[in-house]
Amino acid sequence: MKRRLLRILCTVVALLSLDSAIGSWSAGAARPELFVTRPDSGAALRLLVVFPGYRMPGAMLSEAFGAHLGPSDAMIVVGHSVHGVDVELTFREVLHAIETIDPPVGALRVYGGSMGGMSAVDFLRRYQRAGAGYGRVTLFLDTAPSSPATVARPLWAVPAVSWFRGGPAVNALVHMVPGTVGPADMEPSADPDLVAAAGRAGRRYPLSALLGQASYIASFQPPSPAELACVDRAYFLHGRDPQLDPIIIIDGALAGWRQVLPQLQEVVIEGRAGQWHLPLIERPQETMAILSNFADSRPPYPGERSAEGGQAGTGQREERGEEHDARQQAVVDKRAHGRLTAAG
């Protein structure tokens, strides 16, 4: 009996080793793919840089968000590599893309959803170190963990298993495991084909990608306030009933981000249920309306070029047209206890 169990164990180890070897052989560089949307008007007066969650397809999120951009809005969506997160390479490539668009100073908005919030902050600490060439930014952290401890799923075992790449056999088994995020209600304007395609793409991610995501989160070091001096205004977005989020411990994450971003404001998206986690492709208009309204709510600082290209203090905003304004409008209720409620 013992010999039989030993033979079975040796066989399983041999098969897992072979499967991992195949996965390692097929692994590539952790180079992100950028999806750039240039403004219809030809000149970018605002630029949104999007760091999505790890398993959210960048191309499909770019298409979903792109339908709600203004005529003078540009956007860069970062598509994470399935081979891991290379923070330095991501910074260089995103900064280069920003330079090719060349937005006005003060027109940069950075959005990070779920794990993408950590990626956004890692980008900004390097942007600050490089001199913040495009001025101060508005930062949106959407349901983003502030440390490994604010992730509901345990990460203690990640360093011990991160060497395992996984091959076709293990990945096939992983794809059969049901997810923990509940299906979200789609907005009337959402593209059901795009939502279905994004769901299929997310389920095809290999085990190495999941381990790479977990390893990045486990190694994340929160920045100091000085490292994020380039952030002008900061908002933390989440759905109603945040305690129902299946992935992120919202209260802990919010408290952690406030330690490094004292100006951080909490925004509750009333139309988003907590158990949906981050339904961006299902509900892009809801999120983009909030980004537009909060990012455009202050005049430029003295010395900054305004989004219209004039000097600061003019207080003017670009006319976007009645149809776009109707899509982007969010109702904002400022409450005495410091939370903002956004209802689409």
At 253-265, the pLDDT tens digits run 999 999 999 999 9
More confident residue, 196 or 172: 196
The DSSP code for 166 is -
At 112-123, the pLDDT tens digits run 999 999 999 999
Residue 322 CA to residue 204 CA, distance in Å, equals 40
- Structure confidence at residue 213 (pLDDT): 75
Q: Are 119 and 223 in contact (CB under 8 A)?
A: no
More confident residue, 210 or 265: 265
Q: Which two tokens stand for residue 120?
A: 């956004």
Give yes or no for residue 162 having a pLDDT over 80. Answer: no
CA 121 to each of CA 38, 111, 112, 151: distance values in angstroms, whole numbers, following the listed order: 24, 10, 8, 17
Residue 226 corresponds to which amino acid? A
Q: Which two tokens stand for residue 181?
A: 């995020």
- Structure confidence at residue 25 (pLDDT): 38
Least-confidence region, from 34-43, 87-96, 332-341:
332-341
- Structure confidence at residue 85 (pLDDT): 82
Residue 125 CA to residue 140 CA, distance in Å, equals 15
CA 344 to each of CA 93, 192, 283: distance values in angstroms, whole numbers, following the listed order: 34, 19, 10
At 137-158, the pLDDT tens digits run 999 999 999 998 999 876 544 4
Give yes or no for residue 18 having a pLDDT over 50. Answer: no
Residue 76 corresponds to which amino acid? I
- Structure confidence at residue 334 (pLDDT): 35
- Structure confidence at residue 206 (pLDDT): 58
At 98-108, the pLDDT tens digits run 999 999 999 99
- Structure confidence at residue 315 (pLDDT): 33
Report the candidate in 55, 15, 13 with the shortest Cα–Cα distance to residue 208. Answer: 55
Q: Which two tokens stand for residue 333?
A: 């209720």
Edge-first strand order for the sheet with 231-240 is 33-37, 73-79, 46-51, 108-113, 137-142, 231-240, 265-273, 339-343, 331-334
At 40-85, the pLDDT tens digits run 998 999 999 999 987 788 999 999 999 999 999 999 999 887 777 8
Mean of pLDDT values over 235-251: 95
301 confidence band (pLDDT: 50, 70, 90): very low
Give yes or no for residue 175 having a pLDDT over 70. Answer: no
- Structure confidence at residue 155 (pLDDT): 53
Dihedral (CA of 185, 187, 193, 194) sign: negative
Residue 131 corresponds to which amino acid? G
Give yes or no for residue 317 having a pLDDT over 60. Answer: no
- Structure confidence at residue 182 (pLDDT): 58
Q: What is the mean pLDDT of the chain?
A: 77
Mean of pLDDT values over 321-327: 39
270 confidence band (pLDDT: 50, 70, 90): very high
Q: Give the rounded percent of residues in the chain with a pLDDT score beyond 70.
A: 65
Give yes or no for residue 336 having a pLDDT over 80. Answer: no
199 confidence band (pLDDT: 50, 70, 90): confident
341 confidence band (pLDDT: 50, 70, 90): low
- Structure confidence at residue 208 (pLDDT): 61
27 confidence band (pLDDT: 50, 70, 90): very low
Domain ranges of the chain: 28-299+320-332
Query: For the structural domain made of 28-299+320-332, what CATH number should be given?
Result: 3.40.50.1820
